[in-house]
Every structure is written in C-alpha cells, then in structure tokens.
C-alpha cells in the first residue's frame, strides 16, 4: 500500500500537470479535458501516457523551424511557378481501388524512369513486397538515376535497416523521418507519395507491404484508393517531398545515416506533359501537419461539405471528427443532403471504432447513413461531393490526421473522376452492413459504455 506521503506527492504532481495542460499547453477544450481526465483518473499511468503522447515541446521547437525552412524554400520555388494550394490544370488521373494494380503500375513507372525517383511512405514492410520495391529502386540507382527513399520512423520501427541496404549499396539515398523516441511517438509522416522524373506522381492510402495487396490473413481483402497523376499537380508534390527530405537532413537519424539536403534546382520542375490534354482535371494539392499554421486539409474538407447541395460520401478507416467537421456534417444531414459514411466493420483499432460509432450514431439521428464494410478492411481516405468534386490522399477523418500527423491530399474538380469514385462507393455498399437508427438505439448497455469512454478520450486518439 502506498504511504500517505507518497500519495500526497503523487497528487501534487498530478495537480501540477493538470494546471500545466490547462494554462500552458493551451489546447482546444476537448483535448484539455480529456488529458485532465486521464491524469486524474489514472494518476501514475495518466502521467506516463501524457509524457509519451501529450508533449508539445517537439512541435513548438522543431516544427517551428521546419515551417520557417519550408516557407523559405517555397519562396525560392515560387519563382518557378510552384506553390502548394494553387489550382493546377491539365491533370490526367488514374484511379486504383486496390493495391495490386497500383503496385504493378508503380513498378512499371520505376522501370521506365529517365532521371529521378522520389519515394515516401509511412509504412514500408520488409516482406516480399517491400523487398521487391527496394530491389527495383536499387536497380535504377545502379544505372545512374537519382533515387531517394524516405520512410517514417514509427511506421517502420519494426523494419530492419538491412531491408534498405541494397538501395544504399547501389548509390541510392535513404532517409528516416523522425525516429520514435518516448517524447516523439506523435507527429508521424503519414504521407504515401512517389514522384518520378518530375512528371508522374502517386498519392493515396496505400503503404508498402503484403497486407496492402490483400495478402494479410486477418484483414483479407484490402480496399483502398490511390491515384496516379500527370500534369501540373506533380510540381507541388515534388516540392512537398523536398521539404520533408530537407527536414530529415537537418535532424538526427536513428541509424546514423548521413542525409544531405536536396539542392534548389529547376531540374525537378520541368515543363510537365499532360498526355496531350487540352482540358484535364483541376487539382489542388494541400498539406497540413504540426508544421503548418492551420489545419489546412480539415478546412478544405469543411468548405467542401458546406457547399454541398445533394450528396456527401465519406470513406475512412477511422472516423473521429473534430467539432468543426462533425458540425458541418450534421448541418448537411439536417438540410436533407445525402450524407453517407463508410468505415470498417473489422477495425484494426477497436478503441477508435467505438469512438467513431458514437459519432456516426449521432449523425444518423440527423439523417445521415452509416455503412460498416464487412469484406476485409477498408482503408480509403476519400470524400465525394455532388458528383462534381472529390478528395483523395493520406488523411483520415480524425483529429490525429488533422493536427498531429503530416498529411497530403489532392482535391480534384472533375465530374468523371468523382463519379467513378461514387460508383466504387456504391459497389462497396454491397459489401457493407447498413446501420439504422432503430437498431442503433437498441444497442447493449456495454456498447454504450464503450462508446462513452472512447468518446471521452477521442481528442487524444
């Protein structure tokens, strides 16, 4: 049994941390009360979790410097007509609805590359799929191409360094984005981005590994969405890769691999072919994360939803919206707009599932529809509005993607692409369990308790 003096000491520490969270950290009110509850209800455990997940010191120091460096780099490239957030035209887009066809197309483009290959993934497994991609990259590096591979430290914490050694031996460059240490488990680079020859780009939800090709025993079929781009949108994606690479070059690397900054060179932003298109899709590339002043992707999502007239379709593996996004969706549903939300019935993070179910349940009360995908796992990060505009990228519909992780999304103004995504959504509905408000209202008490607890701590997940 703890002594009274020890309990008094622990209580003082907890009170101190609660005051720190409230008055110094200055988080939004939901996150503040969630951390206060965690520290108060689980004194020692809450303190430990806060030290691992709750610290903002890295954001305040490291990412402020990154933001300043990015702005300086952006100012340099604006002279070349390159800028994130601008509408680009004459883009040709190919949609992939699962991993195998995307992976084959990527390997073909790597084989056809002429000068440079830039690859960035959150998760890069050391299995046969990862090894095949590394070998393909190593082959091109050995042939004299500029090949760079960047992976996230947390997403690849269980991937041995030896997996990437063939690329480095062949002269390719390798970078590890922020090694995971106790105070840096958050702030992950969640992007999945490839740029080839400055003229072809890949972006979406698919990482590198067997599960993303539907070869995982637990999840089975892996439903995802990824795109291949040519046209003006490739340039801001190239710029985003350079920004992230140079950030890694400025910080320590867990594997002690020397990473030098990329030079500012117009060669990465040559005039881009649009495959003969006179009028292609309009695409805006938007990134956000702890290094941006505002949650830019969230703001664009809300803007799209508020302008909706007929329909809002969402697919996301995690649906834990912030108050702003939740309110926009609720208003749309109350107005009679067809709001449909699809998420996995077989989640990889049950706690997130219970939190998400509580939000979907409330939105159903306003008129929205909820669909639980039952065929394998759905990992798409898509938003479709009125069969006219859509969004595809790496950001989930949750607070972590909006404010904690580094994300990139493509916002597309093209009716044909949007309708193709909506048609895929309707096909997926056949593989779903449709929720209804009557059944939801009769859910067991234990489910209600799970939802309530998960909802309370949802700002932290």
Catalytic residue positions, numbered: 190, 192, 197, 379, 381, 386
How many angstroms separate the CA atoms of 169 and 114, rounded? Answer: 20
Within a 10 A sphere around the Cβ of 101, how many other Cβ atoms?
14
C-alpha to C-alpha distance for 191 and 453, rounded to whole angstroms: 30
For residues 121 and 434, what is the distance between their CA atoms, to the nearest angstrom?
Answer: 33
Q: How many residues does the chain have?
A: 461
**Number of neighbouring beta carbons within 10 Å of residue 218:** 9
- Cβ burial 390-410 (10 Å sphere, 16+ → b, else e): bbbbbbbbbbbbbbbbbbbbb
Both tokens of 448, joined, read 């209600």
Structure tokens at 424: 């895929």
Given phi > 0 = left and psi -120 to 50 = alpha, else beta, which region is 228?
beta
Tokens 């707009």, located at residue? 337
Q: Provide the phi-psi class of 135: left if phi over 0, else alpha when psi is between -120 and 50, else beta.
A: alpha
- With CA atoms as reference, report the closest residue to 374 among 434, 315, 423, 425: 434
Give φ, ψ of 62 to 5 degrees: -65, -45
Interatomic CA distance for residues 111 and 347, integer angstroms: 36
- 3-class secondary structure for 278-313? CCCEEEEEEEECCCCCCCHHHHHHHHHHHCCCCEEE
């Amino acid at each position: 049994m703890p002594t009274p003096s020890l309990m008094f000491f622990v209580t003082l520490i907890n009170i101190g941390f609660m005051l720190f969270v409230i008055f110094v950290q200055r988080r939004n009110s939901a996150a503040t009360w969630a951390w206060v509850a965690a520290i108060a209800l689980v004194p020692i455990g809450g303190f430990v979790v806060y030290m691992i997940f709750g610290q903002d010191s890295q954001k305040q120091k490291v990412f402020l410097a990154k933001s300043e460096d990015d702005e300086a780099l952006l100012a340099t490239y604006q002279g070349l007509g390159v800028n994130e957030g601008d509408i680009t035209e004459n883009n040709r887009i190919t949609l992939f609805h699962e991993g195998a066809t995307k992976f084959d197309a990527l390997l073909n483009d790597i084989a056809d590359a002429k000068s440079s290959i830039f690859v960035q993934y959150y998760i890069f497994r050391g299995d046969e799929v990862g090894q095949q991609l590394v070998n393909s990259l190593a082959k091109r590096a050995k042939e004299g191409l500029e090949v760079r591979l960047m992976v996230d430290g947390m997403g690849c914490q269980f991937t041995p360094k030896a997996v990437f050694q063939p690329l480095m031996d062949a002269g390719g460059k390798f970078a590890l984005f922020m090694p995971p240490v106790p105070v840096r488990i958050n702030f992950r680079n969640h992007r999945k981005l490839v740029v080839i020859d400055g003229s072809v780009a890949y972006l979406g939800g698919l990482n590198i590994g067997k599960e993303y090709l539907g070869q995982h025993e637990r999840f089975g079929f892996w439903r995802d969405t990824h795109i291949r781009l040519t046209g003006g949108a490739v340039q801001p994606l190239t710029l985003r890769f350079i920004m992230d690479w140079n950030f890694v070059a400025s910080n320590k690397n867990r594997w002690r691999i020397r990473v030098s900054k990329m030079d500012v060179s117009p060669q990465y932003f040559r005039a881009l072919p649009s495959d003969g298109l006179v009028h292609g899709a309009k695409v805006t590339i938007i990134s956000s994360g702890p290094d941006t002043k505002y949650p830019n992707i969230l703001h664009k999502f809300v803007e799209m939803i508020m302008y909706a007239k007929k329909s809002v379709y969402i697919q996301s593996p995690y649906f834990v919206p912030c108050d702003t996004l939740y309110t926009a969706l609720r208003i749309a549903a109350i107005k009679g707009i067809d709001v449909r939300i699809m998420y996995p019935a077989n989640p990889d993070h049950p706690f997130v599932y219970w939190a998400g179910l509580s939000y979907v349940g409330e939105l159903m009360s306003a008129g929205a529809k909820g669909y639980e995908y039952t065929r394998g796992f759905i990992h798409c990060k898509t938003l479709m509005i009125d069969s006219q505009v859509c969004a595809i990228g790496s950001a989930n519909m949750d607070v972590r993607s909006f404010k904690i992780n580094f994300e990139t999304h493509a916002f597309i103004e093209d009716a044909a692409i949007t309708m193709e995504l909506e048609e895929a959504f309707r096909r997926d509905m056949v593989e779903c369990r449709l929720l209804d408000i009557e059944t939801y209202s009769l859910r067991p008490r234990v489910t209600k308790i799970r939802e309530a607890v998960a909802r309370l701590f949802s700002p932290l997940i």
